[in-house]
Amino acid sequence: MTNLSNFNRGFSAAVFGATGGIGRALIEALCIDPNVGSIFALSRRKPDTIDRRIQWVPFDLESEETIRKASDCLKTLAGSLNLVMVATGVLHDNQDIRPEKNIKSLSGEAMDHIFRINATGPALIAKHCAPLLSKSEKSILAFLSARVGSISDNELGGWYSYRASKAALHMVVKTLSIELSRTHPKAICVAMHPGTVHTPLSRPFVAEKARNTVEPSEAALNITKVINGLELDHTGRIWDWQGKEIEP
Ligand SMILES: NC(=O)c1ccc[n+]([C@@H]2O[C@H](COP(=O)([O-])OP(=O)(O)OC[C@H]3O[C@@H](n4cnc5c(N)ncnc54)[C@H](OP(=O)(O)O)[C@@H]3O)[C@@H](O)[C@H]2O)c1
């Protein structure tokens, strides 16, 4: 684990999606960082990771009320936050929702759901949690996204809903970064592509031993390294797991 040297000793971090493949690994990485003061694990169900610094806060992306309550809880417990990582997302649901191979397989209902989880939900997290970012110290709000949400990088087609929802998330990040530069001049807001990672989200589409895929613990390490290197002029942009910029 790379210590998060970006922040002062005793800093506070919140991870939304704490029971997901990458979210859980991010929590575990935070747990072994001696600089962390408090860790807030946000998820629908209680995570099983145990550490005295972890506090569970429930929320559901499908209900703004639960996100508002979660942010109230964070405000009461932490006051302000230095690091917020949003590691939620959906690509398929193991049943009816699957990435579309072509436009004729697109379902409005499925697309609405994917937008809710990948774009609207994270925007609502931003609405309620961006005000909690520290104003006196450097703070980072990082949304896990995906390279396939880059319009300029789209060479294969397909995956309409997932691609479009992540492209929408990129616009939220850019727009929020402009607003934060006025209200929270020490805040950095980015989207991050974690690479291809063995998790329930990728499992149906990635062979177990596929090249260029990593375990969640390695992805968390990569994400931490990129977060460590973020400066104010990186805000509003999309970064991959190597710290290379992805064009929108
Ligand atoms: N894995 C990859 O290869 C890969 C590649 C590119 C980008 N990404 C991005 O990385 C992020 C994390 O993905 P992952 O691979 O860790 O996926 P994952 O293991 O499937 O985790 C997804 C997370 O989203 C949460 N979630 C879904 N619906 C929710 C809702 N209504 N309310 C609250 N939480 C909800 C899940 O909560 P539950 O545990 O309650 O279901 C889970 O914590 C996503 O944004 C994904 O697009 C992943």
pLDDT: is 95 or 65 the higher one?
A: 65
pLDDT digits (tens, 9 = 90+) for 166-223: 999 999 999 999 999 999 999 999 999 999 999 999 999 987 777 889 999 999 999 9
The mean per-residue pLDDT over the stretch 214-238 comes to 97
Provide the residue range defining the domain that includes 154.
Answer: 11-246
pLDDT digits (tens, 9 = 90+) for 17-63: 999 999 999 999 999 998 999 999 999 999 987 778 899 999 999 99
Could you tell me the distance, in angstroms and rounded to a whole number, from the CA of residue 54 to the centre of ligand 1?
Answer: 20
CB of residue 196 inside a 6 A radius of ligand 1: yes
Instruction: Tell me, yes or no, whether 6 lies in a domain.
Output: no
CB of residue 78 inside a 6 A radius of ligand 1: no
pLDDT of residue 49: 72
3-state secondary structure the chain: CCCCCCCCCCEEEEEECCCCHHHHHHHHHHHCCCCEEEEEEEECCCCCCCCCCEEEEECCCCCHHHHHHHHHHHHHHHCCECEEEECCCCCCCCCCCCCCCCHHHCCHHHHHHHHHHHHHHHHHHHHHHHHHECCCCCEEEEEECCHHHCCCCCCCCCCHHHHHHHHHHHHHHHHHHHHHHHHCCCEEEEEEECCEECCCCCHHHCCCCCCCEECHHHHHHHHHHHHHCCCHHHCCCEEECCCCEECC
Instruction: Tell me, yes or no, whether 207 lies in a domain.
Output: yes
The mean per-residue pLDDT over the stretch 56-77 comes to 98
The domain spanning residue 200 has which CATH number? 3.40.50.720
Nearest Cα residue to atom 41 of ligand 1: 20
Name the domain count of the chain: 1
Please tell me the pTM assigned to this model: 0.97
Nearest Cα residue to atom 18 of ligand 1: 20
Instruction: Tell me, yes or no, whether 125 lies in a domain.
Output: yes
Instruction: Tell me, yes or no, whether 3 lies in a domain.
Output: no
Instruction: Tell me, yes or no, whether 37 lies in a domain.
Output: yes
